[in-house]
Homo-oligomer: A and B are copies of this chain.
Amino acid sequence: MSSGKHYAKGSPKPVLPDDGQLRLFSMRFCPYAHRAHLVLKAKKVPHHTVYINLSEKPEWLVDVSPLLKVPALQLSAEKGQPSLIESLIIAEYLDEKYPQNPLLPKDPLKKAQEKILLERFSGVSSAFYKIFLQSSGLDDFSLALDIFEQELAKRGTPFFGGDKPGYVDYMIWPWLERLPLVEFALKDYKFDAKRFAKIAKLIELLKADDVVKSFYVTPEQHIEFWKSRRAGNANYDLLA
């Protein structure tokens, strides 16, 4: 429903059909928005996407996302057309609201354990940005990723979700897809496919997953976007 172009300051508000479909306000290269896209695809929920230029936000963004955050999911069929923010809250909402292809376990204990595991991924994502912005933090990054390597070994399944991708797989994928950025930021670094053998295999499996494929960005494209962003001129419309 979107051309993929990002709406910026001064852009008129897009007129979306009054069809009651969900409306996802996103940025094509945002890993948090990426999560929402993956869940919507996994659950096959029809929706419209509106991409937002985060450097020069359109004036009307405040109407759908008062904190000017993406992802924001507007529920256009609900009374007052409320919006949800926070990628994990959006993911859990979608998983509860649309029962097809459940991502989180229904059992309260198992569900809590998946969320606690995911909580630890913040070690990876925060180290990730430190690496990219300051070229430091590789040790923290690797130690945090070890946790996921060990957990996958312990589970003995190809995916965190078992025989197919589940909640944790899709919630961490945006950073796994962006691993080449770490190699790009730290010239001497090469992803250690031996230390992270299970994660390396998971990455290959997820790359072949239809949901992941439907929103996939190549390493070269990620690098090109980040270069433009680092130069202070983020090329949001790189893929549009």
Contact = CB atoms under 8 A, between A and B. Distances in A.
Nearest to A93: B112
Contacts of A89: 112, 115-116, 119
A109 B97 contact: yes
A159 B116 CA distance: 29
Interface in A108-139: 108-109, 111-113, 115-116, 119
A75 interface: yes
Q: Which DSSP category, helix, strand, loop or mixed, fits chain A's interface?
A: helix
Taken together, the copies of this chain in the complex come to 2
A70 to B, nearest CB: 14
A136 to B, nearest CB: 23
Interface stretch (A4-12, A23-31, A79-87, A169-177): A79-87
Interface residues of A, number: 20
A15 to B, nearest CB: 25
A92 interface: yes
Contacts of A90: 112
A5 to B, nearest CB: 28
A96 interface: yes
Interface in A76-107: 78, 82, 84-86, 89-90, 92-93, 96-97
> Which of A75, A78, A108, A113 lies at the interface centre, i.e. has the most chain B CB atoms within 10 A of its CB?
A108
Interface string A150-181: 00000000000000000000000000000000
A228 B185 CA distance: 45
